[in-house]
Structure 1
Amino acid sequence: MDTNDRSRTILIVEDSLTYRSKLRDYLSQDNRYNYIILETETGAEGLRQYRIAQPDAILLDYVLPDMNGLEFLQALQQQIKKPDLPVVLLTEYDKENLANLAIECGAQQYLSKSAVTTENLRLSLHNAIKQGELLRQVAELQIQNQRHLKVLNQKEEQLRLALASARMGIWDWDLLTGQIHWNREHEELFGFTPGGFDGTYETFDLCIHPDDRARFHEQVVKSIETHTSLCHQFRIIWPDGNTHWIETRGEAYFNDAGQPIRTIGTVVNIDERQQAQQLLQTQLDRQRLVLDMTVRIRQSLDLEEILQTTVDEVQQFLQIERVLVYKFLPDWSGKAIVESVGTEWCDILTHDRVYRPCGKSAIDHFQQGCIIANADIYTAELDDLHIQMLESLQIRANLAVPIFKRDKLWGLLIAHHCSEPRAWQASEIELVKQLASQVSIAIQQANLFAQAQTELTQRKQAEMTLQLLNAELKQHRAVEKLKDEFIGIVSHELRTPLTSMQGALGLLAMGLMDDEPAQMKQMIEIASNETERLVRLVNNILDLDKLDADRQALALEWCDAHNLLKQAIDVMTGSAAAAGVDLVLEDCPSLQIFVSPDRILQTLTNLIGNAIKFSTPNSAISISAATLDERIPYSSTRVDTSQLNSSSGSRQIRFAVKDCGRGIPADKLDTIFGRFQQVDVSDSRDKGGTGLGLAICKSIVEQHQGLIWAESTLGQGSTFFVTLPQPMNKNLLPQGTL
């Protein structure tokens, strides 16, 4: 490899100085080439630099300050008007369709920034440059073919003139007598010896190829009837059985009455012209096939589809019985992975036939890039075992071309002719070699895509793992919070009454109160009250835990709202009388509601009991219930406003408990329904509360898909509201009920 072959100019279009430096370092590690590196930060500057320097390849960042990578490719395509853009697109995005878009816009290769290494960067640049060279070669071949066609047409005209002035056949057909006269050259062109033609139309007609007779007769009749010149090409069969192409030209002559009396014309042999045209057409078809395969590879990342298309196209184009792709395994055994075979021949792929196309010496041969082309297995230098194996697969002639993955032998593209020997033409071998090169590119391209897919899957799995870890962390924090709350209960709610009980019982046990009956009674009352407080706390904790555990276990039934309120008032009348507070049942019509009566009664008694504790003596607590036909635009602070629109049905039942106590500060309205939350920390001691009553109420109401909130004015009192969604009749139950 000379110095020029080892020197490559690379343009880096990347706005990150750090990443440009990283790319330079990667390229400097490649000892195969000497890189001249040009750098720009914007797309516009990159386009200008390409016009000036004409680099071998471009490393293009997908996200640029002034445009994205696809816009750059489109602008570059318009600028240079070529399909072979030597561009490797670099991106941080994990879009599955970005590779297809980049290739459609002209990029030769696609790499994820996070996956770039010295090796895959070198390979991508090498492939981009080689693919560009291949496309340029195809374009140059097309131009050359056009030139050749033009030259061929010129030569055809020269040949026609030369034959017209030199060796050509002349015929004269007397339409009145039917006699035909041929000159000597005409007889030679039809394979007759001089004087061997008997002059009859029947003999001439037998010389015409059977497939061409009808068309020839049609052209002769048309020429005479339309008084136009005859010019027609057709095949003839010589007495020795060989077929030749003839072109005839002639004119018809008419008498004064307009009747045809004679036709005179010439014939020339056009075998060379037909062969040249056939050869040119074959070359065009071959180039078209290679170009089509190139386009399909650029448009598809499905390797199996590309391989199947390749064997199908080769079998059809070469008109052979079987074509397959053979892949080597690590131990140099292998198997056929795709196949195209005629119906009358055995298939290797479907029946999983063992097929070893070569031995160790042949593998060495293939690793050097050489091919094997046997026109006939019986005349090739093959051992008997190999011939027997080929015979078992009905193979008479074979052609095997190596397929490489990077620099390593990957497999073979193999063509089999089964019916008879076949001399493989140089053009056929070249076609199979070109397609094998395209398959090599497809394998590398599919491998890069598979790597990108694997990295994407791994990243998604990492994201899912992170989400699970975050959920576990959140759950752990919730558990820690509950633990802290429980420790707070033990350290405060349980320790305080237990200390009081311990002190009182200790004094009694020591006998210090034996002579003081009044104080002894007071100590016993203290112990009793604190015991009751502990029982309430434990019961509330157990009740709240049971509610959380049985959120879907409510037993709903139809009951009367008025009766529920009356029962709650009856239960709390004694406590109200002891506190000097009146309980007043305001307007409450007889309303049928679908609820768990025990739980709603528990909620109402908790709210009434809470109002009693914070009401002043000689005040009143009002309790009411009403029907609401529309949703209420609540303006006050409530526990969970996000639940407002989850209520099913349009009818709602609203309960209200209003006291004339000290009120609740606005900053506490959001928190009083939490566990162990009280307006004042001394309330648990002075009022006997546990801080769980409102949390229990909230849990019960939410299980009914309802809302609970409080409105309050300091110094004037508070009102607690409970709104429950209700079906319009007993046949329509609210969503989510059991």
Structure 2
Amino acid sequence: MDTNDRSRTILIVEDSLTYRSKLREYLSQDNRYNYIILETETGTEGLRQYRIAQPDAILLDYVLPDMNGLEFLQALQQQIKKPDLPVVLLTEYEKENLANLAIECGAQQYLSKAAVTTENLRLSLHNAIKQGELLRQVAELKMQNKRHLKVLNQKEEQLRLALASARMGIWDWDLLTGQIHWNREHEELFGFALGGFDGTYETFDRCIHPDDRSSLHEHVVKSIETHTSLCHQFRIIWPDGNAHWIETRGEAYFNDAGQPIRTIGTVVNIDERQQAQQLLQTQLEQQRLVLDMTVRIRQSLDLEEILQTTVDEVQQFLQIERVLVYKFLPDWSGKAIVESVGTEWSGILTTDRVYHPCGESAIAHFQQGCIIANADIYNADLDDLHIQLLESLQIRANLVVPIFKGDKLWGLLIAHHCSAPRSWLTSEIELVKQLASQVSIAIQQAKLFAQAQTELTQRKQAEMTLQLLNTQIEQRQSVEALKDEFIGIVSHELRTPLTSMQGALGLLAMGLMDDEPEQMKQMIEIASNETERLVRLVNNILDLDKLDAESKSLEQEWCDAPSLIQRAIDVMTGSAAAAGVDLVKDCPPSQIWVAPDRIVQTLTNLLGNAIKFSPPNSSVSIEMREIDEPISDRSTRFDSVRPITAPSRQIRFAIKDCGRGIPADKLETIFHRFQQVDSSDSRDKGGTGLGLAICRSIVEQHQGQIWVESDWGKGSTFFFDLPQPIHKNALQQGTV
């Protein structure tokens, strides 16, 4: 790199000595250039230094003692007469609006002091210097353009001659005088006779279509202000009232001061191009409409909705007063079933009468797939009665297209133009025909869907009937299985004590124990115990049957909870004392809504189980508490749980023992009939396997739930929750 190319003079305008030192350090770390650094503390001194030294770039602090950075930039612009300055503005603030103001005032770069590094400082200075060089080159190019302007003017006449042969108009607008010059072709394109244009902007403006004036004016002003080429399409009105499309292109020219002095351009007639574009646009819109209707038909099975959408879309697209769908009846009369009608015109649906859109002779015409397109009913081949009917419906022109269901004529898609005659375009007729075809598909689809729905309904009914039969068979099989299981279990449970009784009594009857009183006494005790066991078994079976019978008529009343618990403890005190088990009660005073005898029975059964399985010198606790939890669904009898009809709270009973515990896989099954943790319990503990089943039945008839939580080897706790009215007077004593 040349030494001069590597040398750069930088002016630092910064009142902070510390930050100037920091900037010098950053620049000294840049090995690409040799920096000559000039420093000032004020904006005034900085402007003076710039005039003297003409540095390559300026590092400018936004906040100076005598001015801010924007004021410095404005003063520098006035001093050197250049809009763009090789300045990098440094500021403590990170605001986008401040950066934009700095750029507008001529600064090339903007840096936050906190973000300055050696690299970004070098890049900012480099960019500012290069942009200044580019601006100087642009200025030189402008000078060259001025020299070429004279040559361009000489070529202009040649261009005019070439454009004349192409029937292209030329305009030349002197912005200083306001005079506009048109060539002959331009006057012809605007409908003027030769020399008929007076050269004023007012006359030109009157030629522009009223809806296009503001748009054309905006484009002309924008092209001048932005120094860009003008290209715009607009409509003009000829003196005879006809509208034509024009495309204009132009350029603006400026003096040395940058002020616009002249615009030159061309105009051409683009009527044919616009017509072609309009035709293409119409075709695209028609295709879009047909495609949209096709998609809606595929997505919807509601025939009425599809028909209504069709008439709405046709009315909007064709900009006509009324569109309707007419359905034939078996006698070839019929009625309009959907319509879309303008607010100023009467509807046909509201008349609730049979409407004949055509004579009877036209039926065969429609059955062959032909259409009717009348531009004016008074010029059509219609009889007087038909004309009178159309007049009563405010119809002046109509378009009628047949709709088929399969190969049979189903109805008509009809468009009415009411305000005036209308010549139906081929594209419009084709659109209505395509939509009528889509309606035919929708009708056929609706028929198939109805058939499918009927078949589906019949199939569902058959499946439901079959499912019901299967359910009944399964229920019957389940009942038979339960019956067999119950008979087997009961037979076994009855046979066991009877066998023991028979054996003991048989020995006594044969006199084998006559000489052995102790053994005789033992045999009598065996017979007595088995008799008690048999009685308990029969009583429990009868109790379960009675509970099932009472499931809908449980007698409940307000009871004192501690008294109920005490009754159960009193019943089991003897058994507890014999087993060496203490009974502990914890129950606050409370009134509860229950069937008292059944709750005592439940507590007695649970206490009895707890005592039987607790070791000597242990305790069994029974407690009751009110809880706020909602009743959880722990019950295995969902059909027996009925919602309580009054506002409710909950009470929870808990019976805890210190026995051997219950395995996890038995926590649910022990509440079933004839189920025990161990089959030997029936012999060793004297149980029947029905006590917990009775407890569950009683609790669930109270609309509650019962469950057990157990740690194997540590003991078990049986819980049951009962819903309660909030207040004692919430329920009257009676049957729930």
2:606 touches 2:718 (CA, 8 Å); kept in 1? no
Corresponding residue of 1:365: 365
In the TM superposition, residue 421 of structure 1 has moved relative to its aligned partner by 0.7
Residue 725 of structure 1, aligned match among 714, 720, 729 = 720
Secondary structure in structure 1 of the residue aligned to 2:561: strand
Residue 652 of structure 1, aligned match among 644, 651, 654 = 654
User: 1:235 corresponds to which letter in structure 2?
Assistant: I
Structure 1 residues 333 and 227 mapped into 2: Cα distance closer, same or farther (>3 Å)? closer
2:190 touches 2:236 (CA, 8 Å); kept in 1? no
Corresponding residue of 1:316: 316
- Residue by residue over 1:326-356, the C-alpha shift from the partner in whole angstroms, topping out at 9 and shown as x without a partner, is 3334444433333222111112335545433
CA distance in 1, matches of 2:694, 2:190: 114
Q: How does 1:364-403 map to 2 (within 5 A)?
A: 364-403=364-403
Corresponding residue of 1:234: 235
Secondary structure in structure 2 of the residue aligned to 1:190: coil
CA distance in 2, matches of 1:569, 1:461: 58
Structure 1 residues 560 and 358 mapped into 2: Cα distance closer, same or farther (>3 Å)? same
In the TM superposition, residue 386 of structure 1 has moved relative to its aligned partner by 2.3
Structure 1 residues 348 and 709 mapped into 2: Cα distance closer, same or farther (>3 Å)? same
Q: How does 1:17-32 map to 2 (within 5 A)?
A: none
- Residue by residue over 1:444-463, the C-alpha shift from the partner in whole angstroms, topping out at 9 and shown as x without a partner, is 34444555555555444444
Corresponding residue of 2:424: 424
Secondary structure in structure 2 of the residue aligned to 1:343: coil
In the TM superposition, residue 255 of structure 1 has moved relative to its aligned partner by 10
Structure 1 residues 367 and 607 mapped into 2: Cα distance closer, same or farther (>3 Å)? same
1:229 touches 1:250 (CA, 8 Å); kept in 2? yes
In the TM superposition, residue 395 of structure 1 has moved relative to its aligned partner by 1.3
Residue 699 of structure 1, aligned match among 697, 700, 704 = 697
- Residue by residue over 1:463-482, the C-alpha shift from the partner in whole angstroms, topping out at 9 and shown as x without a partner, is 44444334434454566678
1:564 aligns with 2:563: no
CA distance in 2, matches of 1:188, 1:707: 100
In the TM superposition, residue 492 of structure 1 has moved relative to its aligned partner by 13
Secondary structure in structure 1 of the residue aligned to 2:380: coil
CA distance in 1, matches of 2:270, 2:456: 63
In the TM superposition, residue 281 of structure 1 has moved relative to its aligned partner by 2.6
Residue 586 of structure 1, aligned match among 567, 570, 581 = 581
Corresponding residue of 1:44: none
- Residue by residue over 1:357-376, the C-alpha shift from the partner in whole angstroms, topping out at 9 and shown as x without a partner, is 23443232222211111111
User: 2:238 corresponds to which letter in structure 1?
Assistant: I
1:564 touches 1:597 (CA, 8 Å); kept in 2? no
CA distance in 2, matches of 1:247, 1:654: 100
User: 1:419 corresponds to which letter in structure 2?
Assistant: S
1:557 touches 1:596 (CA, 8 Å); kept in 2? no
Q: Comparing 255-264 with 443-452, which one deviates more in the overlay?
A: 255-264
User: 1:290 corresponds to which letter in structure 2?
Assistant: V
Corresponding residue of 2:290: 290
CA distance in 1, matches of 2:270, 2:432: 31
1:651 touches 1:728 (CA, 8 Å); kept in 2? no
**TM-score computed with the length of structure 2 as normaliser:** 0.51
In the TM superposition, residue 404 of structure 1 has moved relative to its aligned partner by 2.3
CA distance in 2, matches of 1:730, 1:300: 53
Q: Comparing 224-233 with 251-260, which one deviates more in the overlay?
A: 251-260
In the TM superposition, residue 564 of structure 1 has moved relative to its aligned partner by 2.5
User: 2:584 corresponds to which letter in structure 1?
Assistant: P
Structure 1 residues 608 and 312 mapped into 2: Cα distance closer, same or farther (>3 Å)? closer
1:274 aligns with 2:282: no
2:324 touches 2:338 (CA, 8 Å); kept in 1? yes
Structure 1 residues 625 and 188 mapped into 2: Cα distance closer, same or farther (>3 Å)? closer
Structure 1 residues 254 and 561 mapped into 2: Cα distance closer, same or farther (>3 Å)? closer
- Residue by residue over 1:91-146, the C-alpha shift from the partner in whole angstroms, topping out at 9 and shown as x without a partner, is xxxxxxxxxxxxxxxxxxxxxxxxxxxxxxxxxxxxxxxxxxxxxxxxxxxxxxxx
Structure 1 alignment gaps of length 5 or more: 1-159, 495-531, 615-619, 631-639, 659-666, 684-688, 711-719
Secondary structure in structure 1 of the residue aligned to 2:378: coil
Secondary structure in structure 2 of the residue aligned to 1:424: coil
2:171 touches 2:180 (CA, 8 Å); kept in 1? no
1:626 aligns with 2:621: yes
Q: How does 1:86-105 map to 2 (within 5 A)?
A: none
Structure 1 residues 589 and 335 mapped into 2: Cα distance closer, same or farther (>3 Å)? same
Could you say which structure has the larger radius of gyration?
2
CA distance in 2, matches of 1:695, 1:254: 107
1:170 touches 1:186 (CA, 8 Å); kept in 2? no
1:583 touches 1:623 (CA, 8 Å); kept in 2? no
Corresponding residue of 2:598: 599
Structure 1 residues 327 and 183 mapped into 2: Cα distance closer, same or farther (>3 Å)? same
Q: Comparing 326-335 with 309-318, which one deviates more in the overlay?
A: 326-335
CA distance in 2, matches of 1:693, 1:224: 104
User: 2:587 corresponds to which letter in structure 1?
Assistant: Q
Corresponding residue of 2:325: 325
Q: How does 1:50-449 map to 2 (within 5 A)?
A: 164-165=164-165, 183=184, 186-187=187-188, 190=191, 192=193, 197=196, 199=198, 201=200, 206-214=206-214, 233-239=234-240, 241-247=241-247, 268-349=268-349, 352=352, 354-449=354-449
CA distance in 2, matches of 1:310, 1:229: 44
Corresponding residue of 2:547: 547
2:675 touches 2:690 (CA, 8 Å); kept in 1? yes
CA distance in 1, matches of 2:217, 2:224: 11
CA distance in 1, matches of 2:569, 2:222: 115
Corresponding residue of 1:635: none
Structure 1 residues 457 and 161 mapped into 2: Cα distance closer, same or farther (>3 Å)? farther
**TM-score computed with the length of structure 1 as normaliser:** 0.51
CA distance in 1, matches of 2:709, 2:203: 115
In the TM superposition, residue 405 of structure 1 has moved relative to its aligned partner by 2.7
In the TM superposition, residue 429 of structure 1 has moved relative to its aligned partner by 0.5
CA distance in 2, matches of 1:224, 1:598: 105
1:561 touches 1:625 (CA, 8 Å); kept in 2? no
1:562 touches 1:589 (CA, 8 Å); kept in 2? no
CA distance in 1, matches of 2:404, 2:249: 55
User: 2:239 corresponds to which letter in structure 1?
Assistant: W
CA distance in 1, matches of 2:313, 2:460: 39
CA distance in 1, matches of 2:716, 2:221: 108
Structure 1 residues 259 and 560 mapped into 2: Cα distance closer, same or farther (>3 Å)? closer
CA distance in 1, matches of 2:231, 2:721: 99
* Root-mean-square deviation (Å): 6.4
Structure 1 residues 388 and 696 mapped into 2: Cα distance closer, same or farther (>3 Å)? same
- Residue by residue over 1:9-44, the C-alpha shift from the partner in whole angstroms, topping out at 9 and shown as x without a partner, is xxxxxxxxxxxxxxxxxxxxxxxxxxxxxxxxxxxx
User: 2:394 corresponds to which letter in structure 1?
Assistant: Q
1:706 touches 1:722 (CA, 8 Å); kept in 2? no
Percent sequence identity over aligned pairs = 65
CA distance in 2, matches of 1:430, 1:336: 22
CA distance in 1, matches of 2:485, 2:425: 89
In the TM superposition, residue 382 of structure 1 has moved relative to its aligned partner by 2.0
Secondary structure in structure 2 of the residue aligned to 1:559: helix
CA distance in 2, matches of 1:161, 1:456: 81
